[in-house]
Amino acid sequence: MTAVTTYTRPKPFAWSYSRLKNFETCPRRHHEIDILKNFRDESEQLDWGDRVHKAAHARLAKKVPLGAELEPILGPWVAKIEAAGGKILVENKLAITKEFKPCGYFDRDVWFRTVADVIQIKDDVAGSYDWKTGKIIEDSVQLALVAQCVFSHYPKLAAIKSVFIWLREEATTTEVFKRADMPAVWEGLKDRVATLKHAYDTDEFPPTHNKLCRQYCPVTTCEFHGVSTWS
């Protein structure tokens, strides 16, 4: 009997902003955690973030009480969003093609994916809100990418207010985007995305020795695991 060799087409390149950031921190870490799934990035902060997102989703979508732990933290923000009115959409998985057209999250031609925790639509303006449970990091690119996906999926929108809600600090980072702003965002990103795609195409993910290696990286097979950057 002649052996039959089956050929599996590789998945087309698709990315998210978190994957881009993880790759830029350390290609090996990104490859082992995000692609191969050989290791999991676990921490108390990530667990708490998951609880926050699930509780906010249940509260906004199903009116489930937040509970004693999260009511003081999430309650005031949820109340503000609800008081503003409009159509509220929760845990929105959004994806676009290379041509910035809307598509399904797992479609064959998907190119970029993101999740908007809350979208609030009123006439031709929308608010996009993301719950942030870590330290404040100003990142207008991530705000802009969420705005792009919202624009693509809701073509009648003229402007989007993208907001990070920093729960620990009771603060926000806010930017307003118009459709005309998007080309400049993509122009600034194209080289970064091209570098990520090259790594996927060549399957080259070398390690980067950085401050996470000593204590905060789960990739035990890496030569820099547990090694301090100052040793």
Tens of pLDDT, residue by residue over 4-48, are 555 445 678 999 999 999 999 999 999 999 999 999 887 677 888
* pLDDT above 50 for 97: yes
User: Which helix (H) or strand (E) is 23 found in, with range?
Assistant: helix 17-25
pLDDT tens figures, 140-160:
899 999 999 999 999 999 999
Q: What is the pLDDT of residue 10?
A: 61
What average pLDDT does the segment 99-109 reach? 95
| Residue at 206 is within a domain | no
d(CA 174, CA 127): 10
What average pLDDT does the segment 51-68 reach? 94
| Residue at 135 is within a domain | yes
- The mean-pLDDT minimum among 45-49, 73-77, 116-120 falls in 45-49
Cβ-contact 151, 54 below 8 angstroms: no
- The mean-pLDDT minimum among 43-52, 68-77, 130-139 falls in 43-52
For the chain, give the mean pLDDT. Answer: 91
Cβ-contact 162, 151 below 8 angstroms: no
| Residue at 36 is within a domain | yes
Cβ-contact 142, 17 below 8 angstroms: yes
Confidence of residue 55 (pLDDT cuts 50, 70, 90): very high
| Residue at 218 is within a domain | no
| Residue at 46 is within a domain | yes
Confidence (pTM): 0.89
Q: What is the pLDDT of residue 7?
A: 45
* pLDDT above 60 for 205: yes
Give residue 107's domain range: 15-190
Q: What is the pLDDT of residue 5?
A: 52
Provide CB contacts within 8 A for 2, sequence distance 6+.
none
* pLDDT above 60 for 214: yes
| Residue at 205 is within a domain | no
Cβ-contact 149, 94 below 8 angstroms: yes
CATH number of the domain at 131, please: 3.90.320
Q: What is the pLDDT of residue 137?
A: 87
Cβ-contact 128, 164 below 8 angstroms: no
| Residue at 122 is within a domain | yes
d(CA 173, CA 90): 19
Q: What is the pLDDT of residue 138?
A: 81
Closest CA to 221 of 34, 38, 40: 38
What is the domain count for the chain? 1
What average pLDDT does the segment 107-121 reach? 96
- The mean-pLDDT minimum among 34-43, 108-117, 142-151, 197-206 falls in 34-43
